[in-house]
Structure 1
Amino acid sequence: MDDERGVRHQNGARRTALIVSTIADVAAGFLVLWILLFLLEANQANVFVEFVHGTADWLGWWAQDIFTMDTEGVRVVLNYGLPAAIYLLLGHGIAARINRAA
């Protein structure tokens, strides 16, 4: 009976870790996608591009204008790339910690 509970706890922890890392990946994916769309000069009036930009703004609001470069492309890469990297590091770090604790 205790072995069964332990296995269920371990499986639950693995699922939780997978969810945490997946959320971090999706968040970073939106940020990186916006960087690519911006650098490739995608049509800003397109609904999809607007959605990605809005989502990236929402995810990276706390890092906006940390870097104020003259070159707009470099500014976008740094201001959206920093949150992407932090989300990946934190998300995967938390997931690894959850897996180790199980």
Structure 2
Amino acid sequence: MPTANDLLARYAADIAFVAEEQPATTISDLAAQLYASTHNFDAAGINGTDELEAAAAYLVDAATATDDTERTVLLKKAADHLAYADDMVSEFRDMV
């Protein structure tokens, strides 16, 4: 199961690039950057922003979860929705 640190390590730098911000250091910040990045993905004609918005929603919930089991489930759901984020970022990088 992915942890918050796993998701930050895997996605923070790439999502920050698309959002034109510094890499997130918390899952709340990563969620905010996922929401922010959707505008740039949309402008570039890259599909998949619904998945990123869903991931962001799960991250927001995970950031405020008080139960470890609930947090683990929410982080897993967020990770599932981030499955194509690497491809999206790669396509975005090719366009800029």
TM-score range relative to shorter protein:
0.3 to 0.5
More helix by share: 1
**TM-score, normalised via structure 2 length:** 0.37
Scaled by the length of structure 1, the TM-score of the pair is 0.35
Of structures 1 and 2, the one scoring higher in RCO (CA 8 A, sep 6+) is 1
Larger Cα-atom Rg? 1
